[in-house]
Amino acid sequence: MTLPRGFKANAEREALRLRRELDLGDTDALNVDDLADHLKVKIVSAEKLVSRTRLEELERIQAYAFSAATFQVSGRNIVVTNPLRTPGRRASDVAHELSHLVLKHDLTEIREVNGMPFRTCRPEEEEQATAFGGTLMLPRPLLVGAVLRQWGPTQIAEHYGVTEEMARYRYNTTGVAKQVRGR
């Protein structure tokens, strides 16, 4: 599956616009909790809603079946996160969920895991939210700065509080290493 034509360039512009609204510089780390507050979205840990034991049981039944989900309650958007995830994964998950809201995706599909219903978006919208979430956390100018410091995905992940997988994804898909070396 591929992203729609022009999506990546628009995602970069929109990410930088949102980051400016938060008074972040090009190379500042994004705190997803600040972005959620800015977007008037509440973030709640799932262990405030169900027992941690139940979350651990779901994880044993199907690993990574639940990382985060967005619900609308009384007209307010709420992102529920999985407390079993690492801080970097939580940041990525929240950025993904906030991306659905910024991109105005509809929660249209219902899936069930271990008797628990989850609403989700169409696969192409999931791909867009993943791409935009990564762009929010690691926009191109930030990555260029990191490459100029000779950082690879591991250092980027550590410094910006994201998973190494996300840092590698953005590092590779943006082509910043080739761009900087070609100067």
**pLDDT for res 109:** 53
| Highest-scoring range by mean pLDDT, 59-68, 85-94, 109-118 | 85-94
User: Quick check: 132 and 103 in contact, CB under 8 A?
Assistant: yes
- Ramachandran sector of residue 53 (left: φ over 0; alpha: ψ -120 to 50; beta: rest): alpha
Q: What is the pLDDT of residue 117?
A: 52
**pLDDT (0 to 100) of residue 127:** 87
Measured CA angle at 162 (ends 16, 36), to 5 deg: 55
Give the per-residue pLDDT at 157. Answer: 96
Residue 59 has a CB neighbour count (10 Å cut-off) of 15
pLDDT tens digits for range 74-103:
888 889 999 989 999 999 999 999 999 998
Q: Which of 163, 134, 159, 154 is nearest to 27 (CA)?
A: 159
Residue length of the chain = 183
- Label residue 145 by pLDDT band (50, 70, 90): very high
Cα Rg, the chain, nearest whole Å = 17
pLDDT at 115: 55
pLDDT of amino acid 141 = 94
Higher pLDDT pick, 52 / 116? 52
The tokens describing 114, both together, are 């271990």
Q: How many Å apart are CA 145 and CA 180, to the nearest integer?
A: 9
**pLDDT of res. 2:** 58
Q: Measure Cα distances from 160 to 7, 41, 67, 114, 141 in Å.
A: 24, 22, 20, 34, 13
pLDDT in tens, 2-49: 566 777 888 899 999 999 999 999 889 999 999 999 999 999 998 898
